[in-house]
A = this chain, B = another copy of it.
């Protein structure tokens, strides 16, 4: 059985705080460093922790660590950048909520990067913003930062000419914007389900798809709300690690999160509308099925009874009272006439009830 619910990795309750317990299945960390100023850009890929260059005052250093599967490497980097053990615990124990924690000489920002290959996945991105450096921790390879890496190469890009806070803004912006295509996917899926519900009686798979969509949308909705709160708390942060210009652009990201929230609310409401539409449709179809059954039974049961009546084996020889009808000259035509009369009467009754006209018009 696959696990559908977000599950806390089992850490033994009562463990000492700040303990870094590595998930054995996590990929081993790969370190990439990009150091740049207005004029030059240096890119170091797949280096060891010792090879991370010194953070310089006149350039911006972005240290990007992908994979959390090696305790030693992680601790080396943590010591190098003087990160509090409680923060490191949160970096390694993924499934943190998006949040901002302000330490003396750096900010610790947790974000969730969405991806949807088959099923939805939210990857925790830990972002440390210090003096002249940005340190990012990713759970696994594959991110939405490639356009930023491309723009970094352009010498006159805004990121090159601004400080590390602007780089941090660009990373946050990329993560938040990664939710938009996801939402479009959900909208398409909801439209498709609505079409299926409208055309014919929904099938079991449609119900289950709606059920799964609903729970995914709920997860994304929660993530989106958390990012909204995160952005709000970043905007109220009044330290000097984030400059005026980056702040102005972060306000724009905050606006995007507001729009995301609104779009998620629409999707959520659509889900419950579709659930209602489904129930209405099923109850209506049921009603139609029952009407067909009732009409058929109500017509043919009396007819069958009449036929059975004339099929009784009372013998005329014994008594003139026994089934005289079967010996009348026009007995049979009369029996048929009675049957036709009953059938026509029933049909008229159902037409008056509006059952037949209706089931025909549908």
Contacts and interface: CB of A to CB of B under 8 A. Distances in A.
A1 B192 CA distance: 8
Contacts of A211: 273, 276-277, 280
A236 to B, nearest CB: 17
A140 to B, nearest CB: 18
Interface string A295-314: 01110111111011111111
27 contacts: A3-B187, A5-B191, A8-B263, A10-B180, A13-B177, A14-B144, A14-B145, A14-B148, A14-B174, A14-B177, A16-B158, A17-B249, A90-B255, A198-B208, A203-B362, A222-B265, A275-B276, A279-B279, A286-B287, A290-B294, A310-B313, A313-B326, A314-B331, A318-B331, A319-B331, A321-B331, A321-B333
A108 B315 CA distance: 96
B280 A207 contact: yes
A73 interface: no
Contacts of A135: none
A3 B195 CA distance: 11
Nearest to A350: B292
Nearest to A296: B298
Contact of A255 (B99, B258, B318): B99
A239 to B, nearest CB: 18
A12 interface: yes
A118 interface: no
Given A184-B8, A310-B314, A284 B207 contact: yes
A270 B211 CA distance: 10
Given A207-B284, A289-B287, A308-B308, A222 B8 contact: no
A133 interface: no
A248 B84 CA distance: 11
B327 A332 contact: no
A354 interface: yes
Contact of A5 (B157, B266, B275, B278): B266
Interface string A257-286: 011001101110110010111111111111
A146 interface: yes
Given A6-B266, A8-B259, A86-B252, 10 more contacts: A5-B190, A10-B180, A10-B184, A13-B177, A219-B266, A286-B290, A310-B313, A318-B327, A318-B329, A321-B331
A158 to B, nearest CB: 6
A92 to B, nearest CB: 14
B287 A297 contact: no
A234 to B, nearest CB: 16
A91 to B, nearest CB: 13
A191 B313 CA distance: 60
Nearest to A13: B177
A64 interface: no
